[in-house]
Structure 1
Amino acid sequence: MTQIYELEERIAHLMRAVDDLSDVVTRQQAEIDRLTRRVEMLMQREAEREAAQSGGVILGDERPPHW
């Protein structure tokens, strides 16, 4: 009977650990999503700033003016 009790106790601890890890993953995913949105916003702002400075369209293979 003690073996069953020990197994039940271990399962309870494992279930708690899984729940805790699930909460951590959920929080991390929310943070990743927030940071991804911020990076996209900053990239958009930088592209707009560069376009305004150069007065033209930015091409991916365009060489900088000093070349």
Structure 2
Amino acid sequence: MTDIESLSARIDALEMRLTFQDQTIEDLNKAVVAQWKQIDALTRQLSRLEDRVAVGEQRADLAGLPEPPPPHY
């Protein structure tokens, strides 16, 4: 194998590695974007649940108070 053929083979190998690395980076980027979307959705859901729990706690506190007598007494 001559020097030119050797260099050409090395360049071809590097180009193939670069192509595979670009694809891997793109796949990882897609995974990260999908995870961030899921994290955002879960954060919104958690916020809604916290609000519901707070409302439930307020209602439970009010339920413990004695009821006023009906107006006809």
Q: Do the structures match in fold with TM over 0.5?
A: yes
Residues 1-47 of structure 1: CA deviation (Å, up to 9, x unaligned): 00000000000000000000000000000000000100110000000
Cα RMSD of the aligned pairs, angstroms, is 0.5
The normalised TM-score by structure 2 is: 0.73
Structure 1 unpaired stretches of 5+:
56-67
When you count helix as a share of all residues, which structure comes out higher? 2
Specify the SS of the correspondent of 2:58: helix
**What corresponds to 1:13 in structure 2?**
20
Question: Where does structure 2 lack aligned partners over 5 or more consecutive residues?
Answer: 1-7, 63-73
Aligned length: 55
Choose from 22, 25, 44 the match for 2:32: 25
